[in-house]
Amino acid sequence: MKGTRSRRGGADIVGVKDPAKPPPSRRGTLRILTEKGAKLRRKTIKQNVQSMTDGKVRDVLKKSNISVNPKTPPHIAREILEGGMEAGMIVVK
In this structure, which long-range contacts are made by residues 57-62, counting pairs with CB atoms below 8 Å and at least 24 apart in sequence?
57/81, 60/90, 60/92, 61/90
pLDDT digit string (tens) for 25-52? 777 888 788 999 999 999 999 999 999 9
* Reported pTM: 0.66
Query: Using CA atoms, how far apart are residues 93 and 82, in angstroms rounded to an integer?
Result: 14
What is the structure's pLDDT at 16? Answer: 80
pLDDT digit string (tens) for 57-77? 999 999 999 999 999 999 999
